[in-house]
């Protein structure tokens, strides 16, 4: 190989490129990044950028061998021709490659709602008022994915600003925590009856609900937004929900999840997952074709990639910092390895969140058949640690304020240890 192209200039792509060079690749390594800024870390965007006013240089990413990388910023890939080994960019430039890393990450899910004048809203006596528009490009409806998004959110919030956050996943919760710290009055809306049910199951919902409500967040569960009330300047002044209430606001943040950034691959031979159109890979992070065969010298990593994790004997896609780092390194290493030296990617899922003064960490993978057992504290405790198991084998753990002990359990999961290896109190 003479030229390797990495499409995606964020954490996973950067770590892949670093590994390619670290392995002694003598050719050209080119990174295509749609963001105009150098690479940076995303976890602080929902936290320190808002609460402490961190600027870009405080989140920028250290990059090894930066002088050996050729980086094109502010341009996106718009198509891929696998047969000809060509990536076409948004300015119509065509880039030839011998090896390719797909690391395009994800983009926020958007929300489209009808908009009505705040002076002429739907109600029982006026069920069909004039529709002003369908929400799009409303100045005070924001999402969070980039540093620019976080900076804009920070600039829009003053003391006592009313903020409605739609979506109570980890990003919605972290934003609720951060914005409340700087004086905003936050209303958090989610269609599920319990917090974090999709991620952690229903058992821990009461703990997080208590944490949120005790910090002054107006939590509205089991309800969905139905329309926006807007003023003459197309500013949202209220969010109506299926409960019949309208919540006044100065700012709306949509935090309803992300989708893999793979539209540019729609007409390629790359196999996309039917669930969310993420890139399907084998256990080596090698991209699969639509015929189900690995594509030579094409790998993927980070938020965009599904892969078969042998450790858990199943496919997974993970949207967290640690996975972007580890999968980036694995894909980069495998791209330049000899065919017989490919390494399986058997990462143990791990993520953390800081909110309302608590550090929450989760490792492994659990399912509805998993058994849960507390080995320290309980839901009424200030700190606790609990493990999940299947047929006596540890598969996952969740901890609040127990980082060191949880990381030891992560090692035990990798060893296939039984629950007896942990012990209980």
CATH of residue 403 = 3.30.390.30
Does the residue 347 lie in any domain?
A: no
pLDDT along the chain (425 residues), means of 10: 96 97 96 95 96 96 91 97 97 97 97 95 91 88 97 92 97 98 97 92 92 96 97 96 97 97 97 98 98 97 97 94 97 95 95 95 90 93 93 93 92 89 60
Task: Tally helices (H) and strands (E) across the chain.
Answer: 8, 29
Give the residue from 120, 88, 85, 89 showing the smallest Cα distance to 99. 85
Phi, psi values for residue 73, rounded to 5°? -110, 155
Q: 63 and 9, same structural domain?
A: yes
Name every residue whose Cβ is closer than 8 Å to that of residue 274 and which is 6 or more positions away in sequence.
none
* pLDDT score recorded for residue 423: 57
Q: Match 């696998």 to its residue by tokens.
A: 82
Does the residue 224 lie in any domain?
A: yes
Q: Is 267 exposed, middle or buried (0-12, 13-18, 19+ CB in 10 A)?
A: exposed
**Most distant CA pair in the chain, distance:** 73
Contact, 304 vs 293, CB < 8 A?
A: no
Q: 252 and 174, same structural domain?
A: yes
Q: How many domains does the chain have?
A: 3
Does the residue 348 lie in any domain?
A: no
Does the residue 384 lie in any domain?
A: yes
- Which 8-state DSSP code applies to residue 191? S
Q: 247 and 135, same structural domain?
A: yes
Domain that holds residue 369: 357-421
Q: How far is CA 308 from CA 97, 139, 288, 345, in A?
A: 26, 41, 11, 8
Last residue of a domain, one of 204, 233, 256: 256
Q: 287 and 193, same structural domain?
A: no
Alpha helices in 252-385 (DSSP H): 321-336
Q: 180 and 149, same structural domain?
A: yes
- Dist CA 319 CA 330 (whole Å): 16
Last residue of a domain, one of 225, 256, 287: 256
* pLDDT score recorded for residue 425: 41
Alpha helices in 341-402 (DSSP H): none
pTM reported for the whole predicted model: 0.94
Q: 290 and 242, same structural domain?
A: no
Q: 282 and 333, same structural domain?
A: yes
């Amino acid at each position: 190989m003479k030229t390797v192209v990495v499409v995606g200039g964020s954490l996973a792509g950067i770590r892949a490129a670093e590994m390619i060079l670290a392995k002694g690749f003598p050719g050209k390594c080119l990174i295509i990044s749609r963001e105009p800024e150098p690479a940076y870390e995303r976890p602080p965007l929902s936290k320190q950028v808002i609460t402490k006013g961190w600027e870009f240089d405080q989140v920028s990413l250290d990059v090894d061998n930066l002088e050996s990388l050729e980086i094109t910023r502010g341009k996106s890939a718009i198509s891929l021709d696998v047969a000809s080994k060509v990536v076409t960019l948004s300015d119509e430039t065509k880039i030839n490659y011998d090896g390719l890393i797909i690391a395009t990450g994800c983009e926020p899910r958007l929300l489209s709602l009808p908009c009505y004048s705040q002076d002429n809203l739907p109600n029982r006596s006026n069920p069909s008022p004039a529709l002003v528009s369908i929400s799009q490009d409303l100045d005070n409806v924001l999402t969070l994915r980039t540093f620019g998004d976080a900076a804009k959110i920070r600039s829009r919030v003053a003391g006592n600003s009313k903020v409605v956050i739609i979506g109570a996943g980890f990003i919605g919760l972290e934003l609720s925590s951060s914005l409340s710290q700087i004086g905003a009055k936050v209303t958090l809306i989610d269609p599920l009856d319990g917090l974090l049910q999709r991620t952690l199951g229903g058992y821990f919902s009461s703990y997080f609900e208590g944490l949120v409500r005790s910090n002054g967040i107006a939590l509205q569960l089991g309800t969905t937004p139905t329309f926006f009330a807007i003023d003459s300047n197309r500013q949202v002044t209220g969010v109506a929900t299926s409960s019949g209430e309208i919540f006044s606001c100065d700012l709306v943040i949509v935090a309803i999840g992300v989708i893999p950034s793979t539209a540019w691959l729609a007409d390629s031979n790359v196999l996309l997952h039917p669930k969310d159109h993420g890139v399907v890979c084998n256990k080596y992070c090698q991209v699969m074709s639509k015929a189900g065969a690995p594509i030579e010298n094409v790998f993927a990593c980070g938020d965009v990639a599904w892969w078969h994790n042998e450790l858990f004997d199943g496919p997974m896609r993970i949207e967290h910092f640690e996975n972007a780092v580890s999968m980036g390194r694995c894909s980069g290493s495998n791209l330049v390895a000899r065919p017989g030296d490919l390494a399986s990617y058997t990462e143990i899922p791990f993520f953390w969140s800081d909110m309302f003064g608590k550090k929450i960490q989760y490792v492994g993978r659990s399912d509805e058949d998993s058994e849960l057992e507390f080995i320290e504290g309980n839901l009424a405790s200030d700190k606790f640690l609990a493990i999940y198991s299947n047929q006596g084998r540890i598969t996952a753990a969740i901890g609040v304020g127990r980082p060191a002990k949880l990381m030891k359990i992560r090692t035990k999961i990798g060893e296939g240890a039984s629950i007896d290896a942990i012990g209980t109190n």
